[in-house]
Amino acid sequence: MGFQTNFSKVEGLGSSKEGTHHWWMQRLSAVALVPLSLLFVYTFMQTLGTGYQGFVDTYSNLGNAIVAILFLIVAFFHLRLGLQVVIEDYVHSKTWKVLFLIANTLFCWGLMGVGVISIARIAFGFVG
Amino acid sequence: MNKIRSHRPLSPHATIYRWPLNAIMSIMHRITGVGLLAGGFLIVWWFFAGAISESYYDFVSCIVTSIYGDLVMLACLIGFWFHFCNGIRHLFWDVGLTFNERNVMISAILGLLGTAFLTALSLLSIYFWYG
């Protein structure tokens, strides 16, 4: 076994069958983020200094809430894919790699969930 | 296996060559992408605070608009615009456009100018809206 070359270990296994999907999803979310992030950042900057009432008023507006929710969903989806590539490239220990990948997925989906539900709560008029 | 590999001579690479501009843009894309994790966390925290109560929102606002918060947000703003501009370069490459040395150099410079312009525009907007 020790004399086997790295190449012969992987020869004939074929591709992982899912790399293209990851690549495509990253690009698709990137395209969606071009308008979404512009709209989100514009609204966000206008709301930054307006205090609590200004903030609640902004995100009680249906259009602003939709933009913010869509932005958070797509941005965290895109972030998860991007961080996954970085982890796969730089973390070489198998154990740590798997742990980091799990943490990445939980962290990104978790933050997305908290963000979306928070905006929904404001948009539906439960606060303010 | 890895031990055998490590005895073989390697060609000199990242540590010895002068980095072309595009290589710097590439690694910056990764660094800003990872860095925007912090921005994403702050934005979600901000929305979460707004959904909880006014007093908690004010508490989080205090932290985010403190000098350290401002520095983090400024870094996020620059990182965001860089990742935005450089991401558009990647989208052009992905459809097979601007894929030669000259155009890559031009778009790298355009990306940096775009980052500077959009950051300046954002800061000026914030300044005019809030003084």
Domain ranges, ordered by start, for chain B = 20-130
Best to test chain A binding among B27, B47, B57 (most A CBs inside 10 Å): B47
Hey, what amino acid is at A105? T
User: Residue B108: how many CA atoms within 13 Å on its side-chain side?
Assistant: 17
Domains parsed from chain A with CATH numbers: 22-123 (1.20.1300)
- Average pLDDT of adjacent 10-residue blocks, chain B of 131 residues: 62 80 95 95 95 94 90 95 97 92 95 97 91 69
B73-108 residue pLDDT tens: 999 999 999 999 999 999 999 999 988 999 999 999
* Cα radius of gyration rounded to whole Å, chain A: 20
Sequence-ordered list of residues with C-beta below 8 angstroms from that of B111, at least 6 positions apart, any chain: B25, B82, B85, B86, B88, B89
Q: How far is CA A57 from the centre of its chain?
A: 26
Hey, what amino acid is at A27? R
| A16/A34 Cα distance (integer angstroms) | 30
Assigned token pair, A103: 């943490």
> What is this structure's pTM?
0.89
A27-78 residue pLDDT tens: 999 999 999 999 999 999 988 888 899 999 999 999 999 999 999 999 999 9
**ipTM, two decimals:** 0.88
| Chain A positions with Cβ closer than 8 Å to B | 2, 4, 6, 27, 30-31, 33-34, 37, 41, 44-46, 48-49, 52, 55-56, 59, 68, 72, 75-76, 79, 82-83, 86, 111-112, 114-115, 117-119, 121-122, 126-128
Q: What is the pLDDT of residue A54?
A: 93
Three-state DSSP class for A4?
Answer: coil
B20-130 to CATH, choices 1.20.1300.10, 1.10.357.10, 3.30.2040.10, 1.10.15.40: 1.20.1300.10
